[in-house]
Amino acid sequence: MRALFVLILLTGVILTSGHAPASPLSDISAEEVQTLHTQAAQGIAEAQTNLGKLYHKGWGVPQDYAKARQWYEQAAAQGNAKAQFSLGALYDNGHGVPQDYKKAAQWYEKAAAQDNADAQFYLGSLYDNGHGVPQDYAKARQWWEQAAAQGDEWAQFNLGVLYAQGQGVPQDYAKARKWYEQAAAQGDAWAQYSLGVLYVGGLGVPRNYTKARQWFEKAAAQRDVRAQYSLGVLYEKGQGVSQDYVRAYMWWSLAAERWDASDTSAADAQDKVARRMTPAQLAKAQRLASRCQALQFNGC
C-alpha cells in the first residue's frame, strides 16, 4: 500500500513548460529567411512574427533574443496574437530581457483575449503559481478551460490535476478522470499515468488493476519512469497480471536508470525483488530490459 500511496501523491504535478509544438520554420532555407526579412520590413505582421521566431529559436539565423523581441514587438503592436504570446514567453523565461512575470502576464492576456490557446495555457500557469499575478486557482482553471476547449492537452491534464487535488474546485475524481482521458487520448503520458493511478486507487472509478496496467503501459512506452515503476509494483503483487518477479525486476531496472538520483525507490524495489529470484530469472530480466531499450520501449 505504501508504494501505491506514493503513486497517488505523484499525480499532483502541474505542467508549466516545454509546451510549444514543433514548427516548420525549423527547416527554413536562407532564401526563405531573406524573403521574411523583406516582408517584415514592409510591415507584414505575420512575417515579423515568424522572423522573431527564427531569432528566438536560432532557426536559419544565429539565435538572438534581442532581435526576436524587436520583431515580436512590431507585430504585437499590430495586434498579432502569436507575437503577443511570444513576447510573454520571453519575459516568462527571461530570454533577452530580465525575467518579469508581470510583463509576461500582460502579454499573455492580450493574446489569450484573442483565443490564443498557448497564451491561455501559460496565463493559467501564472495564476496557478502566483507568478506576476495573485495566486488564483479559479482563474487558472478558467484559462485552462478555454485552452482545453481548443484541444490543448496540457491544459486538459492540468484541469485533471486541479480536480484530483481539489484546488480551486471541490475535489472530484470523476471530473479529473474526464480531463485526464481527453489528454491521454492525445498521447499525453502524464495523463495516461494519472489515469492508471485513479484505477489503482479506485478514485472516481471502480478499482481495476487491469485498466491501470493498460494505462501505465501506454505511459511507460513513452519512457515515463513513474509508469514503469508502477508496472513493477503490479507485477510484483500480481495485480491485474499474473505475479511475475522477472517483469517486476525488468520494469524497476528500467525506471531506476532514469529515476531522480535523490530517490532510490526504484533501485530499492529492484534489489528487494532480486533477493527472491534465481540467477536464471535475473539473467532473463536483464535480457528483457535490454530488449525493451533496443525496441525504444515499444513492445516491452
Q: Are residues 7 and 148 in the same domain?
A: yes
CATH number where 91 lies: 1.25.40.10
Q: Are residues 91 and 167 in the same domain?
A: yes
Q: Are residues 135 and 170 in the same domain?
A: yes
Where is 286: in which H helix or E strand? helix 279-294
Dist CA 227 CA 216 (whole Å): 5
The per-residue pLDDT for range 99-150, each reduced to its tens digit, is: 999 999 999 999 999 999 999 999 999 999 999 999 999 999 999 999 999 9
Q: Are residues 42 and 128 in the same domain?
A: yes
The per-residue pLDDT for range 222-245, each reduced to its tens digit, is: 999 999 999 999 999 999 999 999
Alpha-carbon dihedral angle through residues 240, 244, 246, 252, given to the nearest 10 degrees: 40
The per-residue pLDDT for range 256-290, each reduced to its tens digit, is: 998 887 889 999 999 999 999 999 999 999 999 99
Q: Are residues 28 and 115 in the same domain?
A: yes
Which range of residues forms the domain containing residue 221?
A: 208-300
Number of domains into which the chain is organized: 2
- Tell me, what's the pLDDT at 246? 98
DSSP state of 278: -
Q: Are residues 222 and 291 in the same domain?
A: yes
Among 160, 190, 220, give the residue marking a domain's end.
190
Calculate what percentage of the chain has a pLDDT beyond 90: 85
Determine, yes or no, domain membership for 198.
no
Q: Are residues 184 and 272 in the same domain?
A: no
Dist CA 141 CA 25 (whole Å): 32
**In contact, 189 and 201? CB cutoff 8 Å:** no
pTM of the model: 0.85
3-class secondary structure, 241: coil
